Amino acid sequence: MQILVLSDSHGNVSNMIRAVELVQPQKILHLGDCWRDGVQLHEAFPDIPFEQVPGNCDYQPDEPTEKLLTEGGLRILMCHGHTYHVKSSLLTAGCAAAEKELDLFLFGHTHCPYWDLRGRTQFLNPGSIGASWSAPTYGLVRIERGVLTASVQRLEAQK
């Protein structure tokens, strides 16, 4: 299974569409900032399973700020990251990952791509797919036979 992870689109739906066309994922996750972008992306690709959580710039009081997913027997938490104060440190996120026995902790909010392995948990921030000040980035998660690999990819400029 190949999962496309997007965050911080901030109105740039066209970059998200390019990433979907490039990756051709079996699932799409949007980690917030901008909720309506996620809705538009899902409308463009209604046959691809889609999940999203709100970010700090989204007013979605009836939506959970995080979701715990199980894919291929692996535990994945998706959140925007602001509720874990990820701009300051990953201490709170790390404690939550250990407590929830996560295999993957997905977050955005900082606009900075990040990958690390801490104990049993991989931490992935796909950066900002909507970035206009630097190269847009996205996350790619592959799950094959119970093994999870995560990486950050750069969305190259259109030719």
Digit-coded pLDDT (tens) for 67-104: 999 999 999 999 999 999 999 999 999 999 999 999 99
Long-range contacts of 140-146 (CB under 8 A, 24+ apart): 140/2, 140/3, 140/4, 140/5, 140/23, 141/2, 141/3, 141/5, 141/76, 141/104, 142/1, 142/2, 142/3, 143/1, 143/3, 143/71, 143/72, 143/74, 144/1, 146/72, 146/73, 146/74
Q: Does the predicted TM-score (pTM) go above 0.75?
A: yes
15-29, 31-45, 126-140 — which is least confidently predicted? 126-140
